Structure 1
Amino acid sequence: MIKNIRVENYFDLGSNTQIFSAVPQRVLVIGASQTEALLDLGVGDSIAYAVKYEDNEDFPIKKSNQPVFEKLHFIPRQEITMENILRLHPDLIVSEESWYSKNKLGSTDYWNRRGIHTMVSLNTTSPSKANKPETVEKEMQYVHDLGQIFHKEEQANKIVNDTMNRFYFVSDKTKGQKKPKIMILDLLSTTISYGKNKIAGDIASHLGADVPDTTAAVSDEYIMKENPDVVFVVTYGDEKSRLQSIANKKAFQHLSFIRNHRLYPIPLKYAYGPITRTIDSAGYMAERIYPGQFHFSKEYDFQP
């Protein structure tokens, strides 16, 4: 028995308890982080269909997972409709919340009533919502749950333990140091802040940073008032232009992060529902929050 969430039109409706009587064999997985999680668990053979897309070509699927990833049967994103998915006969859909909308997958209830299980990532609420806390602990719970579903509990435990040990390591090495103030910004139709209630903010908090409890949308005046020591900007393969849009603002020139050249890009997969890439996100942030104190490999290999 697994507790996940019910979702309809990108809205969390609460708990969703599902009973898995057998290991899924025809999984539809949507999302780079979701695919990576299954590959890190070693269940690539259970993936019948995957949607191939990346948010940043500099941070693709890990090299350790590439051999299995390249053998997957991929379908285009535009083919993800309720009608098309019904024809594929999956026994499990693994995706983030955003795919449950009127023009895509509708609701988790729709699939569950048809005997198709759903596992929705627990920390993929809309960037514009900040009222539902996203945490590292939820991310690790999701890994545990996937491990239980696929009878890969030992591998799931390894992923969780290795990830949490990285946080403990950084916390121990930086004990007693001044906590730098961190802001993580996403430049959408408005400037969005991933504050302490978003998964990116919680990862930074676990690393010992001071992360403000911000509203979702933030103004330039708000950022000026916070005057962060370090700013991360979420990028989608367009790092240069996004960084320049922040760095060139005249109103920011006196702020700490500009004066001290502490403005950094961060790929979407490290800031939004990273799942098994949480360990890489933590390493990436730690190296920049505490310059010169850490050096982690870009990609952590969980395979034996």
Structure 2
Amino acid sequence: MLFFKTYQIRRATFWECELFLCAIVMASTGCGNTTNVSGIPNVTSVESANTSYYPVTVQTFDTEGKSVEMTFSKIPKRVVADRVNTLAVLLALGQGDKVIATSAGESPLSYARLKEKYPEEIKKVQGNYGFDLDLETVVSLQPDFIMGWKSSFAKNRFRSTEWWNSQGVNTYILGTSNHVIPQGKIEDECQFILDMGRIFHAEDKANGYVEEIHSEISRAQMYAKGKPPQLAMMLEVGGRNIFNYDDGWIIGDMVRQMGGVMPVKARKLSSEQLIEYDPDVIFVDYFMEGQKANIQKFFDAPEYNSLKAVKNHRIYLIPFDYMYAPGINTIDGIRIVRDGLYPDLAGT
């Protein structure tokens, strides 16, 4: 037996939606934000209580993946957090009461972890819409800030960042989502955490999380010094399919910084190719609890008996939100990768 370690809203027609959007925008009194994106009107309303701290400007991306500046004249109070990791960072920074809508419920296992980790803060979140968080819903809520992946601002989701910015609504796209940044790095996740700390005036908490990440990496690097590099692979398996994440994803930087290598570039692999690569350690992502048994069954197949990772019990399961645009969960992903590369450090 293989051993591994784990740690309805009605859709409006296009024209109905356009009329609805216009009505909401005209009724809105403005969100009190400004943006430096070229060609977008500025709407400014700075609360006197925040004049000593705001405005705050951060670097983010637009729908096309271009770098832009986004300026906040006051703390956002009506936030739409698309995807579970955008919600997670706000909960960690004590900003749950600012979230009026999230789609985090579309990932039930990840959302359950958030409830366990931030039991009081998550109660403050006003709406968890899951897969029902659509354009019509978002517009009706009149947000002042929308954060998510690049795909959040696709035509079939919430419309472009430029459109929202033109309505006085600030946006933020995670740089390591959808390969906006071609070579994702741990420091990109740290910058995301720091940006949220600045935007929500919670810099001390944000700095603490980033320091924890840097400390964990430094400890693993000291342990790895002088040791031969570990050959690692990050896989997603299902049925007979084997999908590979190359070192361009954030998981690649985790492995690289802690003394491992991920040389395989191909997205899809055959069983013969996996056997030929024969990595020292294999990380496998999962979305739901039920997948664990399927992953076990996959690697129990006789054809994989020769793999070093199977024989040495070095197959490690990692939640998807710990290795893809992980944000505040970066530290958890780092610890799983550390344990996989250096089992002697496990649990320390």
Q: TM-score, normalised by structure 2?
A: 0.76
- 1:87-128 per-residue CA deviation (whole Å, 9 max, x = no partner) reads 1000011212232223211322221121111111111116xx
Say which SS state the counterpart of residue 269 (structure 2) adopts: coil
Distance across 1 between alignment mates of 2:111 and 2:205: 27
- The change in CA–CA distance for 1:243 and 1:106 in structure 2 (over 3 A counts) is farther
Structure 1 contact 52–74 (Cα < 8 Å) conserved: no
Distance across 2 between alignment mates of 1:216 and 1:6: 27
2:126 is aligned, of 73, 78, 103, to 73
1:172 aligns with 2:200: no
- 1:151-174 per-residue CA deviation (whole Å, 9 max, x = no partner) reads 222221111111111100111123
Q: Residue in 1 aligned with 2:152?
A: 99
Structure 1 contact 183–194 (Cα < 8 Å) conserved: yes
> Cα distance, 1:83 vs. partner?
2.0
Structure 1 contact 56–235 (Cα < 8 Å) conserved: no
Q: Max radius of gyration: which structure?
A: 2
Distance across 2 between alignment mates of 1:68 and 1:59: 13
Distance across 1 between alignment mates of 2:302 and 2:65: 40
Structure 2 contact 213–330 (Cα < 8 Å) conserved: yes
Q: Residue in 1 aligned with 2:177?
A: 124
Q: How many residues align?
A: 288
Say which SS state the counterpart of residue 254 (structure 2) adopts: helix
- The change in CA–CA distance for 1:146 and 1:266 in structure 2 (over 3 A counts) is same
Say which SS state the counterpart of residue 61 (structure 1) adopts: helix
Q: Residue in 1 aligned with 2:248?
A: 197
Distance across 1 between alignment mates of 2:282 and 2:323: 13
Runs of at least 5 residues in structure 2 that lack an aligned partner in the other structure: 1-56
Give the partner amino acid of 1:157: N
1:141 aligns with 2:197: no
Structure 1 contact 233–243 (Cα < 8 Å) conserved: no
Distance across 2 between alignment mates of 1:173 and 1:201: 19
> Cα distance, 1:194 vs. partner?
1.7
1:33 aligns with 2:85: yes
Give the partner amino acid of 1:174: A
- 1:54-102 per-residue CA deviation (whole Å, 9 max, x = no partner) reads 3536971164412111231123223322222111000011212232223
Q: Residue in 1 aligned with 2:76?
A: 24
Say which SS state the counterpart of residue 182 (structure 1) adopts: strand
Distance across 2 between alignment mates of 1:59 and 1:203: 25
Q: Residue in 2 aligned with 1:259?
A: 311
**Worse-matched range after superposition: 256-265 or 18-27:** 256-265
Give the partner amino acid of 1:225: E
Cα RMSD (Å):
2.3
Give the partner amino acid of 1:155: K
Structure 1 contact 123–134 (Cα < 8 Å) conserved: yes
1:276 is aligned, of 314, 323, 328, to 328
Runs of at least 5 residues in structure 1 that lack an aligned partner in the other structure: 297-304
1:46 is aligned, of 70, 93, 98, to 98
Say which SS state the counterpart of residue 212 (structure 1) adopts: coil
Q: Residue in 2 aligned with 1:109?
A: 162
Distance across 2 between alignment mates of 1:58 and 1:229: 32
| Larger helix share, 1 or 2 | 2
Distance across 1 between alignment mates of 2:307 and 2:243: 19
**Worse-matched range after superposition: 131-140 or 21-30:** 131-140
- The change in CA–CA distance for 1:64 and 1:75 in structure 2 (over 3 A counts) is closer
Distance across 1 between alignment mates of 2:194 and 2:232: 29
- The change in CA–CA distance for 1:209 and 1:62 in structure 2 (over 3 A counts) is farther
Distance across 2 between alignment mates of 1:58 and 1:295: 24
Q: Residue in 2 aligned with 1:82?
A: 135
1:293 aligns with 2:345: yes
Counterparts of 1:145-156 in structure 2, within 5 Å, are: 145-156=195-206
